[in-house]
Chains A and B, each alone.
Chain A
Amino acid sequence: MADASPMRADVIVVGAGPAGLAAAHAAATDGARVVVVDENPETGGQIWRASHRAPHPRARALLAQLERDGVTTLRGTTVFDAVPPGSLRAVDAGGHSVALEAPAIVLATGATELLLPFPGWTLPGVFGAGGLQAMVKGGLDVAGRRVLLAGSGPLLLAVAAALRRSGARIVALVEQADRRAVRRLAGTLWNRPAKLGQAAALSVRLCGVPRHHATWPVRAHAGGDGWLRAVTLRGADGSETTLDVDLLGVGFGLAPATRLAQLLGCELDGDRVATDDLLRTSVPGVHCAGEAAGIGGVDCALVEGAIAGHSAARRDDLALRARRRLRRERGFAAALADAFALRPELRELPTSDTVVCRCEDVAYGALADHRDAHDAKLATRCGMGPCQGRICGPALRFLRDWAADRVRPPLVPVPMAALRETLATTDSTP
């Protein structure tokens, strides 16, 4: 099959969130030809995702820099196959195949929301918390709608504030962690004026919103039209309340998006991509920065992006200098993870007839006899659908301690025609 010649660069960055943009800028400053690929129609990642009205100011500044740096950005372009170190194949928004080739790549693939199954979570009107914010940024009109935000982590606060600004009525903000743990985290912020300021600003913007701790959603109820009507919450003391809502945003934190790294053969460290001091992965030429290398938030991602960008451009000296800032950010990330650790009661969220694999409608009870993801997949189809286990995989990691199943091309479903074209380089690693 004739193959269009690939787009060549010195460094390819996959993901145009904070880590990816910072990596692209660092590498370009070092004189590298850089191409950034991102599957979203807009750059900025989820955190800086432009609302349908205005782009995020920090993203705008970094993007302007990238333009001056001469960085090529491919938006709406989804990487579906990769051969180490830097041979990638993607499809653009029109479904056409794009080949990319570079001696070094930076994986800045971010994270996905951890979505835990509970009765009713498949109803129309239930979204991930970040998912609901993304929908609103994508034009979903929530003015006057009653919104419940539940789950865990600081993202809930940010989403609540953003939705309130878009005119939503935040019915309640429900955090599974204990109030004490969250307060303890706030106590560690005394030497972080910027973060303390952000936290204070959020509190002001959420003034008047009922907030519950040690509480979580246990059931979503449908109205006569089949859409979400109400949500039942349960507290750690066993009490239950039901709130009437139009929309539910529910997320239990973030899970690193590691599938591209896995396809490239990068080793994992728990649920994240294993990296060294210079954010090199176990595969030569492949670097990883941002949430995929460990959940750390935007400030951490920016520092990591710079390190990975310099290191990919072979300026290890600059990478090491940037590294000094990382320890502080990593320390904060660890405190966050600790404060918002998921409580074991959440393992009881799904009942035996709760759908766990939404693609194939596999109920939790069907998995009872299985001991790992691969075995369950072959026997029950769990994780066999179009999302390829991206939703049920992290959930089952929490619920059952199941490691993710093997990753094979294509990383996302692509038109058959995209597979007809071969990768420019064949895989020659042993």
Chain B
Amino acid sequence: MTSVPRTAVIVGAGIVGAACADALATSGVAVRVVERERPGTAGATAAGMGHILVLDDSPAQIALTKLGRELWDARADRWPTRVERHVCGTLWVAADDEELAGARQRAEVYERWGVASRVVDADELRLLEPNLRGGLAGGLLVPGDSVVYPPNAARVLLDAAVSAGAAVVERAPVTAVGDGWAELADGTRLEADVVVVAAGIATPRLVPGSGLSIVPKKGHLAITDRYPGFVRHQLVELGYLKSAHGAVRQSVAFNIQPRPNGQMLLGSSRQLDDDDPRVDRCILAAMVARGIDYLPRLAALSVLRTWVGFRPATPDNLPVVGPLADRPGLWVATGHEGVGITTSLATARLVADRLCGREPPIDPGPYDTSRLREASTHA
């Protein structure tokens, strides 16, 4: 497809689908969104934490997360209260001198990319977060990171799309997609110049044979009752990325997020090869133990709920955004692993700019579907 599409069908109204709907509809494309549940109430959007943060795992990841954060910030005045946007910053916690050295390196990377950050020593760490245990080495403060409530953010993005003329079909599971068409469970066939599949972990099932390697990475979360001020920043252990992207079958890492109402979300766990949607008590226990290790007084605070979600993970930890081979009218936008909320707006920007013939603000190459073909050729 070479010309600008007039019509688009978006499969999935999670945060990525909702963001794509908004970006395309406001670019003048006639958009129809089909969602198997209701917008924002399913998948990783409903289950995830909702952090907007810059990650420096790879140049491509820092480019995408940085653009994502900028786009969230650019709409700052337009996010209604129910999105619960709160610029609390991220404080990466260094347990020892080795991790603190890592924090310094990371600060340099952020500086090169123009992302404000600051290394803090042990004393300042204690001032910033008095409930952290003693004996920690310091940390890296990234003040511009924020948190949001993803289900409502997805609804707000979709409402914006609807205001720009988009239509939404709810509770309509899609059974098959192809070059310029999507078929619903009730037999309805929708046709459009382009179909964008933003169905998270369900995407490979919808586009078989595309070489898409997206696996569900199971995660657990626990939410506390309201304890305003117990933590002030999103806290993440510096070993997090090791845990997040390591090859091990299962891992836990300390990550806690203060919500504007004083509740706290405690994470994180990652399990491959486990598609059981029930809470795994052993992993949950390990995750909670990790949290209490960093925040001893957390032990006495009430937990209201625990739950499980599945991140759409790719082998190289980057999302897959672009047209499928030989099917120019069939695009995918998924594989965002644990940073889909951050990168949703950036993904939508890449999709809309590429489809509408505009120059994207960052190189879309690293996220393009072409690498799937290379991977399958080499396999």
Q: Are A375 and B41 in contact (CB under 8 A)?
A: yes
List the A side residues contacting B299 at CB < 8 Å: 415-417, 420
Do A378 and B302 contact each other (CB < 8 Å), given the known contacts A386-B225, A421-B285, A422-B285? no
- Once the chains are docked, how many angstroms separate the CA of A2 from the CA of B38? 42
Checking A1, A378, A417, A419 against B41 with a beta-carbon cut-off of 8 angstroms, the contacting residue is A378
Checking B82, B222, B278 against A416 with a beta-carbon cut-off of 8 angstroms, the contacting residue is B222
List the B side residues contacting A374 at CB < 8 Å: 41
Do A408 and B285 contact each other (CB < 8 Å), given the known contacts A374-B41, A413-B302, A416-B298? no
Interface string of A360-383 (1 = CB under 8 A from B): 000000000001001100110000
**Residue B213 is within 8 A (CB to CB) of chain A in the complex:** no
Closest CB of chain B to A305's CB: distance in Å? 30
Counting chain A residues whose Cβ lies within 8 A of the other chain, the interface size class is 20 to 34
Q: Are B306 and A416 in contact (CB under 8 A)?
A: no
Please report the number of residue pairs spanning A and B whose Cβ atoms sit closer than 8 angstroms: 88
Interface string of A392-428 (1 = CB under 8 A from B): 0000000000000000111001111111111100110
Counting chain B residues whose Cβ lies within 8 A of the other chain, the interface size class is 35 or more
- Once the chains are docked, how many angstroms separate the CA of A152 from the CA of B282? 45
Do A419 and B303 contact each other (CB < 8 Å), given the known contacts A374-B41, A375-B38? yes
Q: Are B288 and A419 in contact (CB under 8 A)?
A: yes
Q: Are B155 and A1 in contact (CB under 8 A)?
A: no
- 8 Å CB interface, A1-49 against B: 1
Q: Are B285 and A1 in contact (CB under 8 A)?
A: yes
**Residue B281 is within 8 A (CB to CB) of chain A in the complex:** yes
Which B residues form the contact surface with A (CB < 8 A)?
37-38, 40-41, 46, 82, 151-152, 155, 222, 224-225, 266, 278-282, 284-286, 288-289, 291-292, 298-307
List the B side residues contacting A371 at CB < 8 Å: 38
Jot down 18 A-B pairs with beta carbons below 8 A, ordered by A. A81-B281, A95-B300, A379-B41, A379-B155, A384-B304, A386-B225, A408-B279, A409-B281, A413-B225, A415-B303, A416-B266, A416-B288, A416-B302, A419-B222, A419-B284, A422-B285, A423-B281, A427-B278
Closest CB of chain B to A409's CB: distance in Å? 6
Do A420 and B289 contact each other (CB < 8 Å), given the known contacts A83-B281, A375-B41, A409-B279? yes
List the B side residues contacting A375 at CB < 8 Å: 37-38, 41
- Once the chains are docked, how many angstroms separate the CA of A221 from the CA of B302? 33
Q: Are B288 and A420 in contact (CB under 8 A)?
A: yes
List the B side residues contacting A427 at CB < 8 Å: 278, 281
Q: Are B285 and A413 in contact (CB under 8 A)?
A: no
Q: Are B41 and A408 in contact (CB under 8 A)?
A: no
Q: Are B282 and A422 in contact (CB under 8 A)?
A: yes
